[in-house]
């Protein structure tokens, strides 16, 4: 009976988020030692990592939200066998980094949206990019307001969960927010 030991090794790659597959080679000096390890990994881009985090947020409630984003819902619109549900994402302007660009201050906000119903069917929207622009003479007042972006999801009746991942591309702040609701709203959960 031989003694056994296991070790977990980690390293910081020199390339961060290049979207390529990289090979890994692990060697040991001890003769006869057996090693098992992954032979490659995909170094996902920052956008791919944000999309993955958003998908995880559909199933887990722990979502950091330093941007203090929120979600509200518009009125369900019957459409075929389902409903078009307006999902509105609100972000406080004062939590975004805005840079002066002539007569305005401008930000850059990327959003990823996804929804899952009670049967596990997933709807995933492509990344959306917005550039909030605040006129310089209205900047102080706008810092106490929110910007809002509206999206429509075609949803079947039943329990739904929506997750939104956000990234302030200038301030490099990442956040997420989720909500659950019944479609049509007003129906018993």
Give the chain's mean pLDDT.
Answer: 88
pLDDT of residue 2: 52
Give per-residue burial for 157-173: e unless 16+ CB within 10 Å, then b: eeebbbbbbbbbbebeb
Reported as a pLDDT band with limits 50, 70 and 90, residue 12 is confident
pLDDT of residue 148: 95
Q: What's the pLDDT tens digit per position in 102-151?
A: 999 999 999 999 999 999 999 998 999 999 999 999 999 999 999 999 99
Q: What's the pLDDT tens digit per position in 27-54?
A: 888 888 888 888 777 677 878 888 888 8
47 — alpha (psi -120 to 50), left (phi > 0) or beta?
alpha
How many beta carbons lie within 10 A of that of residue 144, not counting itself?
A: 9
Q: For residue 28, how far is the Cα from the chain centroid? A: 39
pLDDT of residue 119: 93
Q: What's the pLDDT tens digit per position in 174-187?
A: 999 999 999 987 65
Residue 160 in contact with residue 73, Cβ under 8 Å? Answer: no
Residue 10 in contact with residue 21, Cβ under 8 Å? Answer: no
pLDDT at 4 over 70: no
């Amino acid at each position: 009976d031989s003694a056994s030991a296991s070790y977990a090794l980690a390293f910081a790659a020199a390339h961060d988020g290049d979207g390529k597959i990289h090979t890994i080679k692990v060697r040991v000096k001890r003769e006869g030692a057996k090693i098992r390890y992954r032979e490659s990994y995909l170094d996902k881009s920052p956008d791919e990592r944000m999309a993955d985090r958003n998908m995880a947020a559909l199933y887990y409630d722990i979502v950091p939200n330093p941007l203090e984003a929120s979600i509200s819902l518009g009125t369900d619109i019957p459409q075929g066998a389902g409903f078009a549900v307006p999902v509105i994402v609100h972000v406080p302007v004062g939590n975004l980094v805005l840079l002066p660009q002539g007569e305005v201050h401008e930000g850059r906000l990327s959003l990823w949206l996804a929804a899952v119903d009670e049967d596990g069917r997933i709807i995933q929207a492509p990344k959306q990019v917005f550039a909030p622009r605040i006129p310089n003479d209205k900047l102080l007042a706008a810092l106490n307001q929110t910007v809002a972006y509206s999206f429509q999801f075609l949803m079947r009746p039943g329990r739904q969960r929506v997750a939104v991942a956000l990234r302030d591309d200038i301030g490099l702040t990442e956040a997420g927010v989720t909500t659950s609701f019944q479609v049509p709203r007003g129906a018993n959960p």
